[in-house]
Structures are given as structure tokens and as C-alpha cells.
Amino acid sequence: MPVLQPFRALRPVADRASAVAAPPYDVVDVPEARALAAGNTDSFLHVSRPEIDLPEGSSTEAVHTQGRAFLDALVERGVLVKDAVPTLTVYRQRRPDGTGEQTGVVGLAQVTDYRLGLIAVHEHTRPDKEDDRTDHMVALDAHDEPVILMYPARPEIDALVEGITRRAPDLDVVGPDGVLNTLWTVSDPGEVSALGRAFEAVPRLYVADGHHRSAAAARLHEKALADAGETDGFPVVAFPAEQLTVLPYQRVVAGPLPDGVEGLLASLAERFEITGSPAAPDPARHEFGLYAGGRWRLLTARPDTIDDADPIARLDVAVLQDRVLRPLLGIDDPRTDPRIAFIGGSRGTGELERLVDDGTFAVAFALHPTSPAEVMAVADGGLVMPPKSTWFDPKLVSGLFVHRLR
């Protein structure tokens, strides 16, 4: 059964935590990160996105070295302080609009469990991104950002977490996205042991967000020298799957369209019911919003379009790829085709309209989100989901707990 171990986390002191807190490295591009960190020497983006402090075109080695220098500086200035003893952490995120919250446990997952499939994956990773993350961790001598794991809810874990969250938290931080992040540090040996035993009873954990970080952590462990420190574990936040929110990962495709908008709609009519929509639709399962030529349409898949017996083919991201993108728009490999781009659901359908209206792309597709249950079913089958199938929201805040290897 999977193991969740305590570790001595490197944490921000309370009065600097808001300045340290940053979005994950892969959620913002370099200009966005530079703007967010401007004038804030404590921002964790200087560690996770060190390109922001170097001239454009700097070598990757220089970038990673810069990140290490900033991490060391945060420690030397007393902004980040290491736990006196190994701890677990209960981590709650609450959206500002009150639409929901998720509460998980922070600890070290084991590389061995990852390799044995006790931590299941549902995505292929790209070797170049694995290389970059591994080099980043080596340079930092640390895992700087955690992986999100999920598991089917367990009453015994829920009860332990509820007891811990009855007391005053150790940290409250509003992240850059307005989400309230609340942390309870768990240092009592009895509580740490009880939580660890409860997770040992979970048959399997599932990577929700962080496939490249997980793969890079495994690579780091395999290449590590004897004095490389604590490389056998990597930091995670394990959430009950039922609490997680998945937003759709939308698609935009650059033109020209082979047969124009009207030709595309005519071809789509063979497999979809097409209706006009005065505004961006909110697609249900097996429905798709299509935006082109300044107008929205709603596509509803005909029954014979869906293979509900196949756990991959029945996913809406697969239906769009297999029935629309590949046969009608020639997108054979969405991982490598430069004509397609993926827009995280948190950016909204307004971003799809903007990208089409300004001529950057010719057509946009809005999807119904993939559910955590669908993700776990795919992973349990040892299968792989199409690329960019899920956008978990909210994202974890970076900089609130760092795992230094020594």
C-alpha cells in the first residue's frame, strides 16, 4: 500500500508568506511571472521561474543556477525556515466565491510506490520536460513544487483531518488567484503516525496534476549519488477525489480551415446535432461548444458517435480528437501539431472568443470537463488519456512548503 511520510519542510515565516506565495511554474508564462514578481524579492517565482531575472536566451544551466541562488537567499534572509522535526501538513483551499473547498494532506510520496504503480498515472510525459524538471531539481537540491494526488475518500482519513482542522491554523495565505490557503502543521508523533497508517490502507493513489514532476523525481532518485540526500520521496498533497474540481481543457485550432467554417459545419452534421447559441454554451457530457466567425454553436454527439464501452473513446476529449480534430482538421498528433493550442478552463470562454476574433486561431472548442472518476478509471485500466484532458482548479500555491534534499 502507498506510503505518505513526514518530512522537514522549508516554510515561509508567517509575516512573509503572502509575499512568497506564487502560482505554479507551469501556470504562468515568463511575461506573466515577471509581472507578478516585479518589486517582490521574496516571490517564489524567482525560484520556480528564474528566467524572469535573466536576459532572454540565457542557457538552461544559467536559469537553474539562478533559481538555486534565490532559494539559498530566501533561507539566508530567514524568509524560509526548516521544520525542527519531520511533519505532515493539512492543507485546505477555499475559493473566494464560496463555491467549494478541498482539504488534503502534505507529505512525501515514495518513488518506489510510483514505480510499482501504487501511485497511478494517466498521462504520457515528454522527455524534454522531464529533463528540464530533473535538471531544475538537481540545481536546487530540492523539490520545489508538490504533486497533486487524489484517492477515493476514506472515512478514517476524513476523521483525522477533521480533528486537526478544529484547531487554529498555523498559516492563512490568500494566493495570487484569490484562493484562501490554510495550513495546519502536524508535528505530534501520534497524529503523524495515525495519518500515515490511514494512508497505508488506501489501495492506490492517483496523480491528478504533476506528471512531469513525478517522473522527474523518479529520474532524480535513479541518478542520485550516495550523498544526494533524501531523493527517495517527493512532496505531494493527497486530496479526496470527490473534493477536487476539474475544469475543461479547451482547444483552439489555427487556420485556414480546409473547407471553411460552413464546410466544417456540414461535415460535423453527419455526427452531431448542431444548434445556434446566442452566447458561450456550458456543454454537458458529449456536447461541445464551437466558436468561429463570431458565433457560437452547440454540437451534441449523436448516439452512434460514442463508444461507451471504451473508457478512453467515451471521454469527450477523445470524441473531439477522434471525430473532429483528426478526420476534419488534420490534427493527427495534438502533442506536436503547431496548429492546435490548449486553453485552461480557468481562463474562461472569453479567452476562446478573443483568440478567434483577433485572427490568432480560426476555431475554438469548449468541452465538458473530465471527471476525477473518469481519470481514476483510466488509470486503473493502465491506460493513458489524451493530452491535456484535465485542468484541476484551484492550483496549489508554490513556496509554502519545499522539500530540500539535505
CA angle 317-318-324, nearest 5°? 90
Q: Is the pLDDT of residue 307 over 90?
A: no
* pLDDT for the residue 406: 84
Smallest Cα–Cα separation from 53: which of 30, 21, 26, 80?
A: 30
- Model confidence pLDDT, tens digit, residues 105-125: 999 999 999 999 999 999 888
Q: State yes or no: pLDDT of 225 exceeds 70.
A: no
CA angle 315, 283, 28 (to 5 degrees): 80
Average pLDDT value for residue range 123-145: 92
What DSSP character marks residue 321? I
List pLDDT tens digits, range 51-65: 999 999 999 999 999
Residue with cell 523539490: 143
Closest CA to 340 of 352, 325, 328: 325
93 has pLDDT over 60: yes
- Of 1.10.287, 3.30.1760, 3.30.230, 3.40.50, the CATH number of 249-368 is 3.30.1760
Domain locations along the chain? 4-245+394-404, 249-368
The chain-wide mean pLDDT, for the chain, equals 94
